[in-house]
Amino acid sequence: MSSSTTPRRRAAATLTIAAATALILASCSGGVGGDGGGSDEGPIKLGMLAPFSGSEAAFGDYMKNGAQLAIDEINDDGGVDGRDLELVVEDDACDATASVAAAQKLVTAGVLASVGGYCSGATLPTIPVFSDADIPMVIPAANSNAIVGQGAFMINGTGAQQAEAGIKFATKLGVTKVAAVNDQTDYSKDLADTFIADAEEAGGFEVVLDGAVNPDDKDFSANVKAIIDAEPEFVYWTGYYQAGGLLVRQLREAGYEGTVLVGDGTVDAQFAEIAGDGFTDDVFGTFTKTPDMLEGADDWIAAYKDVSGGEAPGPYSIQSYDAVRVVAEGMKDAGSTDGKAVNEAIAAIDGLELSSGPLKFTEDRTLSGGGFVIVEVGPEGDFVLHDDLQD
Amino acid sequence: MSQLIWNGLFVGSFYALIALGYSMVYGIIKLLNFAHGDIYMLGAFFSFVVLGGMSGLLGIGSIPVLLLVMLIAMLFTGFMGVFIERVAYRPLRGSPRLSVLITAVGVSFTLEYAVRQIFGPNPEVFPIRLSGTPITILGARITLPQVVLMIVAALLMFGLQRYIMHTREGRAMRAIALDQTASLLMGVNVNKVISRTFFIGSALAGAAGVMAAAYYGSIDFLMGFVIGLKAFTAAVIGGIGNIYGAMLGGLVLGLLESFGTHLFGGEWRDVFAFGFLILFLTFRPTGILGERVTERV
């Protein structure tokens, strides 16, 4: 019985292998021709990696809605060369491993540009994934100095520009002793290091403490004690808001009375909630402008609310909106969606009006003007403009 | 210096409360209950929900309300502990220890991500915030809530000590820790005693969760993970299976961390704590108090 089925099995196996080979070959040719072939029709897919889960999940929706608004506007105007844009979002959870997997998923999905990137630590490892596939990246939020010079465009100010704003503010207040505290993430450490290095050159004040916390801790008594012992008049916290809220509260409870400046990762309404009532006096933040700080932004905010279902635009929504517009402009200028051509076209953009001002990229593809301002905690607990540092 | 000691004792009393549950469960059924830290997290989230439901009462004064909520949360986490033991650990009691250990890790993840599904990934702000104007004693800044929380922790531990050493049920627990089969033959209801152990250990962890939530003010679904490992470390340092060891280990770990972070900086806190865990496991696996009494509850 077995001898009679064997040839049939063998025939079936051969057929299967042949079919599989054919499939593989077919998908290969599809993949090779993918850049020019299959994706020349239908919508132009733009990929966005952002955190939709994890501690930074709130920012994912801000970014997605901002990008979607730009896409809707561009599509209403006839799209790019007659083709509609389409946003494909993936969750990177602000985690380096998850982000690489998500980036590969976007590449497989056939995106022609990337307009995402919030956490620097999660964005950094995705750069080679996109660049290997010749996919241009315009990063709306992540701004670690480690990203600079890797070929991605950054339309948020860099860590160096943010540190510069911090130094400018401290100098303006005339403080002499400053402490910098980071939470050991890429973004935070980089910002603190740049701040300290540049402060030494600026010379206006002395950095008396370079500290770090474990971001998952709740008890920062060790850091608080170190800060109080160093007697600074000014503390620059460069980490995210979760730990930031607790740290500021514990600092105040332990009797620290000086100014606290926080980096843009802590500039979030949740910060004041975590710190609690009365613990956010004399707390400022370095931040890129949000829509509500811009002049004549009411129309934009109204349009955003249509997309978001009534939610107010949060941090990085307008940068994400800008990122999509930059990519669309690049594709129009290049007259194609070919990655290399679009990259060159984006680098050559001159004078496109963004929220941070007219766009002109520097050699290393960062903004020529950072646009950082100083914000403070307003009566509602969200951050409002305090000083635009324009002198 | 006195500030360092105070900080260490304060954090250490949280560790001690949680370490007790670890140590008791280990003492009785030789299980490292890795889900124990998540019970602490459940206590915090449960009281968060209860407080949300009775926010009208908050005007009365927050410390009595908090203590009431803490008692309710202790009942809840206690029963959760019993439930977890019943569904996840008891069916595996005859299995190799590794299976139960892995199940415990599974329970831990189940609890964490179930809470994440319900409350979302973002931290929640706890409705009651304990804070007070600090007073300076011997150069250390001390606040009233810190003192209250430490007293509550000490009372809970004292009550547990009385219970285990001076009641019939406590004697049954100690008997099972020594020899489960013999206890069974002597007519001790082993299942009941093990359930009771889980109830008490989980209730204490729940109490610690509520206190930490009210003191630090922010809770999230992963808050139990590191503190669970710290409590395990505390239990090992003190001598796992020994209730005095758990208390002492908690305080010692708190002090070690406090002085360690003062010397090396806050970012070295976990390195320092778990480094000590390794040192203890290498050179004195029975812990400080674990000479021949490791088999005790």
Closest-CA residue of A relative to B145 is A253
Inter-chain CB proximity A214 and B265 less than 8 Å: no
Tell me the average pLDDT across B71-92. 95
Give the closest of B134, B216, B217 to A255, CB-based: B134
Closest-CA residue of B relative to A210 is B265
Predicted local distance difference test score (pLDDT) of residue A18: 57
Question: CATH fold of A17-157+291-371, please?
Answer: Rossmann fold (3.40.50)
Predicted local distance difference test score (pLDDT) of residue A45: 94
Per residue in A10-37, pLDDT (tens digit) is 655 555 555 555 545 444 444 333 344 3
Predicted local distance difference test score (pLDDT) of residue A28: 43
Per residue in A348-373, pLDDT (tens digit) is 998 888 887 788 898 889 887 767 88
Residue B294 lies in a domain: no
Residues of B in Cβ contact (< 8 Å) with A188: none
User: Coil, helix or strand for A313?
Assistant: coil
Give the closest of A212, A242, A249 to B267, CB-based: A212
Inter-chain CB proximity B121 and A223 less than 8 Å: no
Question: CATH fold of A159-289+374-387, please?
Answer: Rossmann fold (3.40.50)
Predicted local distance difference test score (pLDDT) of residue B129: 82
Inter-chain CB proximity B7 and A221 less than 8 Å: yes
Residue B16 lies in a domain: yes
pLDDT above 90 for B102: yes
Give the closest of B141, B226, B266 to A213, CB-based: B266
Rounded Cα gap, residues A72 and B185, in angstroms: 76
B residues 197..226 contacting A (CB < 8 A): 212, 216-218, 220, 222-223, 225-226
Residue B293 lies in a domain: no
Is B272 in the A-facing interface, judged by CB distances under 8 Å? no
* pLDDT level of residue B251 (50, 70, 90 thresholds): very high
The most confident of the ranges A365-374, B72-81, B184-193, B263-272 is: B72-81
Residues of B in Cβ contact (< 8 Å) with A57: 120-122
Say if A17-157+291-371 and A159-289+374-387 have the same CATH topology. yes
Give the closest of B218, B223, B265 to A245, CB-based: B218
Residues of A in Cβ contact (< 8 Å) with B3: 225
* Nearest-neighbour CA in chain A from B295: distance (Å): 33
Using a cut of 0.80, tell me whether the model's pTM lies above it. no
Predicted local distance difference test score (pLDDT) of residue B73: 95
Inter-chain CB proximity A242 and B261 less than 8 Å: no
Token pair listed for A249: 């509260």
Predicted local distance difference test score (pLDDT) of residue A140: 92
Rounded Cα gap, residues B235 and B287, in angstroms: 8
Predicted local distance difference test score (pLDDT) of residue A44: 94
Range of the domain at B21: 1-283
Token pair listed for B129: 């915030």
Predicted local distance difference test score (pLDDT) of residue B31: 87
Closest-CA residue of B relative to A52 is B121
Predicted local distance difference test score (pLDDT) of residue A21: 54
What ipTM was reported for this prediction? 0.85
Predicted local distance difference test score (pLDDT) of residue B248: 93
**Overall number of domains in chain B:** 1
Q: Where are the domains of chain A?
A: 17-157+291-371, 159-289+374-387
CA A3 to mean position of chain CA atoms: 65
Say which DSSP state A77 is in.
T
Residue B290 lies in a domain: no
CATH classification at residue B175: 1.10.3470
| Look-up of token digits 């250390």 | B140
Per residue in B281-290, pLDDT (tens digit) is 898 888 888 6
Residue A363's alpha-carbon distances to A152, A206, A344, A368, B82, in angstroms, are 11, 32, 12, 9, 64
* pLDDT level of residue B61 (50, 70, 90 thresholds): low
Residue B289 lies in a domain: no
* Nearest-neighbour CA in chain A from B167: distance (Å): 37
Low-confidence ranges of chain A (pLDDT < 50): 1-5, 23, 25-38
A42 versus B211: the higher-pLDDT residue is B211
Inter-chain CB proximity B143 and A242 less than 8 Å: no
Residue B291 lies in a domain: no
* pLDDT level of residue B79 (50, 70, 90 thresholds): very high
Per residue in B264-276, pLDDT (tens digit) is 888 888 888 999 9
For chain B, give the mean pLDDT. Answer: 88
